[in-house]
Amino acid sequence: MPELKVTADHLKRDAYLYVRQSTLRQVAEHGESTQRQYALRERAIVAGWPTERIHVIDRDLGKSGSSSTARDGFQQLVSEVALGKAGIVMGLEVSRLARNSADWHRLIELCALTATLILDEDGIYDPAGFNDRLLLGLKGTMSEAELHILKARMRGGQLNKARRGELEMGPPVGLVYRTDGTIGLDPDAQVQSAIRLVFEMFERTGSAVQTVRFFREQGLQFPRRLRTGANKGDLLWASPQHSRILQVLHNPRYAGAFVYGRTRTRHRPDGGVSVVKVARADWQFVMPGMHQGYIDWERFEANQRRLADNAGAFGGERLSGPAREGPALLQGRVLCGLCGERMGVRYSREHSSTVPIYVCQESAVRRAGKICQTVPGKIVDAAVATLMIEMMTPMTLAVSLEVQRELEMRAHETDTARRQHVERLRYDAELARRRYMKVDPDNRLVADSLEAEWNDKLRRHAEAAKDYERRSKQQAATLSAAARQRILGLAEQLPQIWNDARVDFRERKRIVRLLLDDVTLIKAQNITAHVRLSGGATRTLKLERPLPIAQLRKFKPELVATVDRLLDQHCDREIADILNRDGWRTWEGKPFSLKKVAFIRGAYKLASRYDRLRRRGMLTTHEVATRFGIAKTTVYEWGRQGLIRKYYADSLNRGLWQIASETTILKGRGGRRSSPPQATPITTQPPE
């Protein structure tokens, strides 16, 4: 008999009754099962356990038995068995203790090691015995199989509904279920306006980040519907985050499609569950046009391609990505003509400005090879920009009108969104006022709270109304008649606008991306750029390679010859002034200076003016004084009197003197019969 398995050693230890129901609904509606589980206490009393030593563990009511992770009661039971405190473990069925084979067999193993009995509705089992252990294992396997069958049955019904597109799933904000069971747009006009504005701004900017930035700059908010809690179903308005905008753009339900299988649950080793996103190609059911949406399916597909293109800038391949702030006009559109890989962008400083360089480094990064080629971006960008202007000139008038329409539409949309926000706050303030007016004035505890809420709603409404008026005036000034006239003038001013430094680089890049697919570069004797336009047509540009810096810095031969000629009559400072006057400039476009002329003399080994005058027979001050036996001060005095001529002088007033070979100078004489020095020509006696 089963009672013979209960020994005195078992009765010395305590009895544990484990009670569990899978869901709270079962606890509330299936009370008979709960009563049957509690009734097992009588079985323990009959077996010999006193009432005070029978412990009931019912902390896991309303929890699934598929895992022991969230079942604190089951973990407590396992701990008591492992410590040898339990003489018997009771459960109505094996499924009440565990529906997972790993948890069930672990409990059987511990009971066998500690000589603990297991009791269910059918009898008492000793896990240390082979036959009982085999029977308990079979019951555990059947319990797990039963759970699998129940889940498969529910899963089959769920998939059958999903196959027809009739499975009800919580719709995202902006979509609601109607009374007839179909999905429609949210009747709240402000919610619809916010959702539509997200798709409109993404279509204009091509970037989710720019869409978020627009909402924040304009002070607009985005709705979120609470899914849980006491306020379930209420709308919460807040500034949008980047992840929130991406969720809206990636959700196909906004395109009116029924989609099932976008996510998949996976069990972690710690017993938890994680939700994994499934690739779009692996979605189980995709049914466009099942209900009303904010965009059509074609536009949703285009948005996904654009988002994938933007995300390529952050992946392992690092493809084009969205338009960035750098000056590289062809960022993300340049291909290497040697290996076919996409070329990256580097920037360098040149003449206090940032210039791009297109680099193909795929071989260096992926295969530890060498860089294929580097192409200066300033040459290619300028040529492609010229090509773009030539192509756009016939379309400028249409583009101008489209820009004007776009600005007006954008202003109208933002104005509508702000006005709806002000209207909602006004309604909230009016609702708070009605609540306050209905309260009993003597109930100050409630009246004070409602009055504070009313004042807060009034303050928010006043701030929103003030902000609405301020931004409306700004938009009105932006769309004035003068602004419209300037927009219409784009047709004639397109080249000037394109080259205007105030135009953002990203705007130019977006225009280029609309007109061309890619540009293949090959650098040889010249730079060859094969431009592939969006329509399939191609253009080939032949560009001159920029000269190396050494050749750029090298002075032109005619400039060197001019300096050599001027050195015969002028000093370095005078030559610099003459060169600047005649329009000569350095390789940097700067005027010449004394140091630049001296550098040219030293680099090209040109004789200085001093050396040239010495070769022409000019004498120094010391040599003149030695020749005539006079002091140096007398030499300067003769120069002031015009007896000799000074041709060269440095910063210390030292110079070279010219004395005609056919002239002699007679020194003066002091005293009572003084006479000044005189220069007389040398007469030659005719031969006798």
Q: What is the number of other CB atoms lying within 10 angstroms of the CB of residue 540?
A: 9
The pLDDT value recorded for residue 491 is 54
Helices marked H in 72-127: 72-82, 94-97, 101-114
Question: How far is residue 633 from each of residues 375, 627, 638, measured CA to CA in Å?
Answer: 67, 14, 9
Query: What φ, ψ does residue 315 adopt, rounded to 5°?
Result: -85, -175
Mean pLDDT in consecutive groups of 10 residues from the start of the chain, 688 residues: 75 91 81 86 89 90 78 89 91 82 86 91 88 87 81 82 83 86 85 89 84 86 84 85 89 90 77 78 86 89 84 53 71 83 83 83 70 85 81 57 63 74 81 79 74 82 79 62 58 66 75 79 87 78 76 78 84 86 82 86 83 79 79 78 71 69 60 57 43
| Token pair of 544 as six digits | 């001159």
Active-site position among 22, 66, 143, 207: 22
Q: Which residues of 474-505 are buried (b: 16+ CB within 10 A; e: fewer)?
A: ebeeebeeeeeeebeebbeebeeebeeeeeee
Confidence (pTM): 0.50
Q: Which residues of 447-473 are buried (b: 16+ CB within 10 A; e: fewer)?
A: eeebbebbeebbeebeebbeebeebee
The pLDDT value recorded for residue 683 is 43
Beta bridge partners of residue 89, listed in sequence order: 16, 118
Q: Taking a C-beta distance cutoff of 8 angstroms, is the pair 357, 348 a contact?
A: yes
> Alpha-carbon distance 318 to 310, whole Å?
10
Closest residue by Cα to residue 529 from 667, 379, 348, 369: 379
Q: What is the CA radius of gyration of the chain?
A: 47
DSSP 447-512: HHHHHHHHHHHHHHHHHHHHHHHHHHHHHHHHTSHHHHHHHHTHHHHHHHHHH-TTS-HHHHHHHH
> Alpha-carbon distance 391 to 379, whole Å?
19
> Alpha-carbon distance 552 to 615, whole Å?
35
- Which one-letter amino acid corresponds to residue 129? G
Helix (H) or strand (E) holding 333: none
- 3-state DSSP of 372-400: CCEEEHHHHHHHHHHHHHHHHHHHHHHHH
> Alpha-carbon distance 459 to 461, whole Å?
5
Q: What is the number of other CB atoms lying within 10 angstroms of the CB of residue 120?
A: 20
Burial of 132 (0-12, 13-18, 19+ CB in 10 A): buried
Reduce the DSSP state of residue 337 to 3 states and report it: coil
Helix (H) or strand (E) holding 88: strand 86-90
Annotated active-site residue 400? The verdict is no
> Alpha-carbon distance 451 to 652, whole Å?
92
Q: Taking a C-beta distance cutoff of 8 angstroms, is the pair 576, 597 a contact?
A: yes
> Alpha-carbon distance 78 to 82, whole Å?
6
> Alpha-carbon distance 435 to 483, whole Å?
48
> Alpha-carbon distance 253 to 248, whole Å?
9
The pLDDT value recorded for residue 688 is 38
Fill in the DSSP letter of residue 669: B
> Alpha-carbon distance 617 to 266, whole Å?
101
Closest residue by Cα to residue 325 from 207, 221, 177: 207
Please name the residues in contact with 181: beta carbons below 8 A apart, sequence gap of 6 or more: 168
Closest residue by Cα to residue 374 from 361, 362, 356, 359: 359
Q: Taking a C-beta distance cutoff of 8 angstroms, is the pair 252, 286 a contact?
A: yes
> Alpha-carbon distance 347 to 358, whole Å?
9
Strand-strand pairing, 273-277 and 263-267: antiparallel
For tokens 């004639």, what's the residue?
Answer: 492
